[in-house]
Structure 1
Amino acid sequence: MTTRLKLLTFNIAHGRGLSLYQGLQKEKRIRNNLTRIARVIRESGADLVALQEVDQDSHWNKQLDLLEIIREESGFEHLLYGINTRRSGKRHLAYGNGILSRHPVHIWENNPFGTASLGEKGFLYAEIDIAGHHLPLINLHLDYKSRKKRIEQVEQIISFITDKPHPGNNGNTLAPIICGDFNSRSAPLGDAVSHLFRFVQRHGDYKIYPRQARTFPAHFPSKGIDFIMLPYPYQMTESKVIKTKTSDHLPVLVEFELAD
């Protein structure tokens, strides 16, 4: 018996669509775009969704809980927030990564890379209960400015993976799926994607998707910076980039099988 699952990773750009700054958008327009994002997710048939740039309570998008709105409109049962930027006061912020799941969550933890009050990135780890297995998922968002900083952030992820033994729990915890917005292409050997991929390849038979498709910017994609790293024993059955104008990134969908 095999279980077939779909995983979607999507940087939703704070719900602003293709606009340059979410603070200039009216609440109605943000809500309408969240409805469109939820439709993309729903129509993809995803069982697991990894989102980046998702706000829980930020002044610049009218204190809307973006993940809860998307969860409700796309019909998911389980929701996890990983807040990496948190700032109080009149111009308060609370945003980071999020996970939606149609399956129960076994354990989870959030790992900000630092403590900046604006623009901080991080990774959200969860183990999802599926078909008698604990499916580990890492949802990351790396720095967009500095290659050096991205490498340092990847080293934090590598330390986390190294310190967390797999398999565990009597052998029913698998190697982690790693996905998100890497803010770097797969080709440059000295950047984050290749650095992390070389590490995971030494510890398991990983494949990276999409292999060539571009994901950014959405209106005229010129580079691929959003990826899913899928380890053995998962078997990919479909991989695609979904065309949409609901964000400045395009979502990546991978369907895969897991033997029970």
Structure 2
Amino acid sequence: MPASSCPRGEGQRPLALRVLTFNIAHGRGLTPIQGLTLRHKLRVNLRRIARLILKLKPDIVALQEIDHHSRWAGNFDQLDYLRWHTGYPHAVFGINNRREGFMNLSYGNAFLSKHPIVDWESRAFGAARVGEKGFLYAEFDCAGRRLPLVNMHLHYRSRGRRFAQVEQVMDYVAAKHAARRAQWDLLPIVCGDLNNVAHSPDATAELLRYFSLHGHYSLHPQGGLTFPSPLPSRGLDFIFLPPGCGEVRCEVVPSYLSDHRPVWVEFEL
């Protein structure tokens, strides 16, 4: 991905945006296993998540571990449920894991947005029928500016698999940049549950190294702890901001709606 400032936005008025990333743990709250959570309790927790989203007022919400139709998580479309209760007009679901039959599983990553989604694509990292991770790419029309975002969820245990997964993300972004850079007003914002801390020689540091070769990317939060709630000891959830983002503010939100805490970042273009 050659260095580029994506200058299409030059001369436009400043635009303030807020992006939220949140692993909602299949809607189960702090219950350790979603299959033991009643459908009613899942819906109650999702309504609480919807109220939190409305309180935080993000322009774009990146969700991980959200279920489409999974028996272990109430067997309903959780994104549609959140969309209904937040009133966000735009949404897209990226399914990483599909298993048919009686014990059906269908879940992955998703975006909710106040701004139109003009293009999107979902990629699973592999073909496992349980536990498969992946990433969701989308482009948003934010007041006439084309902003690309990547929402990912990496492997929770294997460092080697995380490196292989971020290689897929890097190759994908490089190909997209070559094909679409004339349409972009900003290099990609990248976020999600990376399942490793930023200061270790792991996937988060590797992604930051890669993106920093192509401009002054910054990593957020800087030192915040996101997992496991309610008493987090590690930061696993991040947002990478590309050059062109100014007046940056970030917060890890104290929350007991998942084993992960949500992170929002606000910036100006």
Q: TM-score range by the shorter chain?
A: over 0.9
Count of paired positions: 257
d(CA) in 1 for partners of 2:53 and 2:99?
Answer: 29
Q: Which amino acid aligns with 1:138?
A: V
Matched residue type, 1:162: A
Structure 2: how far apart are the matches of 1:29 and 1:87? 24
Does structure 1 residue 248 correspond to structure 2 residue 259? yes
Aligned partner of 1:89 in structure 2 is 101
Equivalent position of 2:121 in the other structure: 109
What's the offset of the Cα at 1:172?
A: 3.8
Do residues 257 (structure 1) and 268 (structure 2) align? yes
Alignment match, 2:240: 229
* Bigger mean CA offset, 221-230 vs 60-69: 60-69
| 8 A Cα contact 1:136 1:177, kept in partner | yes
Gaps of 5+ in 2: 1-12
1:198 counterpart = 2:209: yes
SS at match of 2:15: strand
Change (3 A) 1:31 1:171: closer
Residue 10 (structure 1) aligns with: 22
Q: Which residue of 1 aligns with 2:219?
A: 208
Q: 2:60 aligns to what?
A: 48
Helix, strand or coil at the partner of 1:203: coil
**C-alpha distance in 2, partners of 1:92/1:171?**
39
Q: Distance in 2 between matches of 1:77 and 1:59?
A: 27
How high is the TM-score relative to the length of structure 1? Answer: 0.96
Aligned counterpart in structure 1 of residue 47 of structure 2, from 35, 42, 52: 35
Letter in 1 for 2:227: F
Q: Which 5+ residue runs of structure 1 have no aligned equivalent?
A: none
Paired residues of 2:218 and 2:240 also in contact (CA < 8 A): yes
Query: Which is further off, 148-157 or 61-70?
Result: 61-70
Question: Does residue 140 of structure 1 match 2:152?
Answer: yes
Indicate the RMSD between aligned Cα atoms, in angstroms.
Answer: 1.2
Displacement of 1:166: 5.9
Distance 1:194 1:172 in 2: 25
Deviations 1:104-152 (A, max 9, x none): 1111000100000000000000000012221000000000010000000
Read off the aligned partner of 1:153 and give its amino acid letter: Q
Identity score, percent:
47
**CA drift at 1:171:** 4.8
Deviations 1:77-100 (A, max 9, x none): 001000000000110010000000
65, 70, 75: which one pairs with 1:58? 70
TM-score of the pair, normalised by structure 2: 0.93
**Superimposed CA distance per residue, residues 192-225 of structure 1 (whole angstroms, 9 cap, x where no aligned partner):** 0001110000012100100001000011110000
